[in-house]
């Protein structure tokens, strides 16, 4: 044991994705490669919050993979790991409705996650 404490990153999440994470059904989170996420690494903790609420769920980061586009990310990670309730085409449309082309141009992160039992 090294005695170091995992870094905790707080990120907002839409209800539909929050529920999948909380149920342990979503194993890959998709984010734009923003500079503030550059230091995200395996072993870190993400505390997802539904914006405007006190509802949170904690996950452990297992890995972080970079992709040039959301399409490449879904192909590389498998859409069933991102959202098992939607088709690849639906997911791509949903992701692009959240993040416009200027955001996608920054690159995409696939964050492998596992639910931390409470």
Per-residue pLDDT tens, the chain, 118 aa: give them: 455 677 999 999 999 999 999 999 999 999 999 999 999 999 999 999 998 899 999 999 999 999 999 999 999 999 999 999 999 999 999 999 999 999 999 999 999 999 998 7
- Beta-bridge partners for 19: none
- CA dihedral angle for residue 92, residue 95, residue 101, residue 102, rounded to 10 degrees: -150
Collapsing DSSP to helix, strand or coil, 101 comes out as helix
pLDDT number for residue 2: 54
Domains within the chain, CATH numbers bracketed: 8-115 (2.30.130.30)
């Amino acid at each position: 044991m090294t005695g170091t404490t995992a870094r905790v990153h707080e990120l907002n999440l839409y209800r539909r994705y929050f529920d999948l994470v909380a149920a342990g059904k979503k194993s890959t989170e998709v984010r734009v490669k923003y500079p503030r996420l550059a230091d995200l690494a395996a072993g870190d903790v993400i505390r997802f919050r539904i914006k405007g609420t006190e509802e949170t769920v904690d996950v452990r980061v297992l890995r972080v993979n970079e992709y040039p586009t959301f399409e490449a990310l879904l192909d590389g990670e498998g859409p069933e790991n991102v959202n098992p309730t939607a088709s690849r085409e639906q997911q791509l449309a949903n992701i692009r409705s959240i993040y416009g082309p200027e955001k996608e141009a920054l690159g995409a992160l696939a964050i492998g996650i596992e639910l931390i039992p409470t």
